[in-house]
Amino acid sequence: MKATITASFLALAISASGSSAQQQPTTSDILNVSSFLMPPRQSWAKIPDSQDPNVVVIEKPASSADLGFRVLHLRAAVKAKKQAAIDLAQSGLVETGDILLSFRPLWDKTLAYAHMQLGISHSAMAFIVTQGNDRFVMTLESPISYSSPLNAPEHYSDLDSIHIVRPTLSDTQKTNLEKWARLVLSHPGRFSFFSDYSLPMYKRGQPDITSPRDEILHLAKVAMGTASTPFESYCSEFVWSLLGLRNCEPQSFDAACISPIFSTSGGMMSGIIPKLKNDAGLAQGPEAALLGGKIAGSDKTKALTQSVFVDIIADPSELEGRMSAGHRKVAEDNRENMKILNGFYAGEEPEPVAQAINQTIFENVSPTSFLTRSNAGMDGFHYVGTVVFDR
C-alpha cells in the first residue's frame, strides 16, 4: 500500500508536469486569506511600474468589498537571498523609509489575537543603499542582527510574505533617517531586543524614560553615543522611535525636533477608539480594514464578532505549524481580552467599555500599528504592496 500511495503522488506530479508551463505568475495561493487581513484599496499608495522584470506586480482583490493585495511576485529562488533585496531596489517599488511588515498568512483563521494583529509578527525599516555595483534594500530592525539585505536566516528563511507600508516622508526626512541608520549600524552593540511587547520602554522603570517621546530621545542619545544605557526595544518600538527622528539631523541634534509619527496625544496608540473617531487603536486594524473596504453596519459587526475576535482552532498541536510558542502564549494570555473586544463590537461599541479596555493597557505601538494607521487613512501611511516568493 505504501508503494500505491507513493505511486499516486508521482502520478499526480506527472500529470502536473504535463501541463503547460506558466510564463506569468498567478496570484499567490498563500494570500487566499480572510478579507479583513487585506488593506483597503483607498489606502494603496500610487506606485510606478516595476523597473525590474524579476518583480511582477499583480493585483489580487478580495472576492467582495474594496479590499485586496497588490502582490509583488519575486522568484522563489531569491527568498532569503541578497538578490531579493537587489530585485526590489531595482524595481523602484521600495523606497528609503518604507516599513517592512512580516506577514504570516498561516495566522488566518487561527486565534483572535492573531487576527487582531492582521497576521503581522514583525516590523523593520528599509533603506536603499549601494555597495560597489550593487544597489539593494538594506533593513534596519530590532533585533539588530536581523538587519540585512533580507537574508538573515533566523527570520527571512521562513518568511513567505512581506507587506510594504510607506510613511509620507520628504527627501530631507529620508536623509535624516539614513544618517541615524548609519549611526545605529555602526554601533550595533548599543542595541538589544526586548521581547515583552506589552511593556513599552517608558513603563520599564528607567528614570529618564517616562513617556513615549522619551523613547525617541533615548534612541537619539544611544545612536550618538551620549547615553549610559543601551536601547532595548521590540521591533515596532524601534521603527516608531526611528521615525520620530525624521526631522532631526544628528550633527545638529536638538530634542525639539522630535516628532512622533502618530498624531495621537501621547504619540503611541491606545487600545480602542469607538467608531474610529479621528483615531485608531491597537485593536482596530481589522475594523479599519473593513470600514475602508466599505463593509459597515451589521456586516462589519458580523465579521468582527464571528470571524475576527474568535478563536477558530482549539487544538494546540494544530497551531504548531502556524505560529511560534511565544506567539501562542501571547494569544493565550490575551484570550479574555479578545472576548471582551468581541463583546464590545457585539454591543455596538459602547464608550464606557472602550474606556475600561484602554485603562487596562499602556499606550503602545505594535508591528501592526503601521498598517492599522494606513488602513484608517491616518498620518500619511499608505500600503505599497505585498512581496511573495512564488515565481
Give, as ranges, the residues between 308 and 347 that touch other proteins (CB under 8 A): 315, 317-318, 320-327, 330
Residues 38-77 as x/- pattern, contact with other proteins by CB under 8 A = --------------------------------------x-
Q: Burial code of 22-45, b = ≥16 C-beta within 10 A, e = fewer?
A: eeeeebbebbebbbbbbbbbebbb
Of the pair 95, 287, the CB lying nearest other proteins is at: 95
How many Å separate Cα 250 from the centre of its chain?
Answer: 27
Q: How far apart are CA 95 and CA 164, in angstroms?
A: 10
How many chain residues are in contact with other proteins, going by CB under 8 A? 78
> Which member of 15, 228, 252, 359 binds other proteins (CB under 8 A)?
15
Return the bridge partners of 269, or none: 364
**What is the nearest approach in angstroms of other proteins to the Cβ of residue 326?**
3
The grid cell for 365 is: 505601538
* C-beta neighbour count of 170 within 10 angstroms: 11
Alpha-carbon distances of 353 from 274, 308, 341, 357, rounded to whole Å: 9, 18, 9, 6
Residues 186-215 touching other proteins, rule: CB under 8 A, are 186, 193, 195
The nearer residue to other proteins, 185 or 356, going by C-beta atoms, is: 185
Q: Which of residues 233-272 bind other proteins (CB under 8 A)?
A: 235
To other proteins, the closest distance from the beta carbon of 174 in angstroms equals 8
- By CB under 8 A, what part of segment 158-187 binds other proteins? 158, 160, 174-175, 178-179, 181-182, 185-186
Q: Considering the complex, what minimum distance in angstroms separates the CB of residue 162 from other proteins?
A: 13
Q: How far apart are CA 370 and CA 233, in angstroms?
A: 17
Q: Cβ atoms within 10 A of the Cβ of 142, count?
A: 26
Kindly identify the residues of this chain, within the stretch 113-132, that bind other proteins according to CB under 8 A: 121-122, 127-132
Asked if 301 and 346 touch (Cβ cutoff 8 Å), the reply is yes
What's the min distance (Å) between Cβ of 336 and other proteins? Answer: 21
246: alpha, beta or left, given left = phi > 0 and alpha = psi -120 to 50? Answer: alpha
Q: Binding to other proteins by residue 93, rule CB under 8 A?
A: no
The span of 11-19, 35-43, 53-61, 264-272 binding other proteins (CB under 8 A) equals 11-19
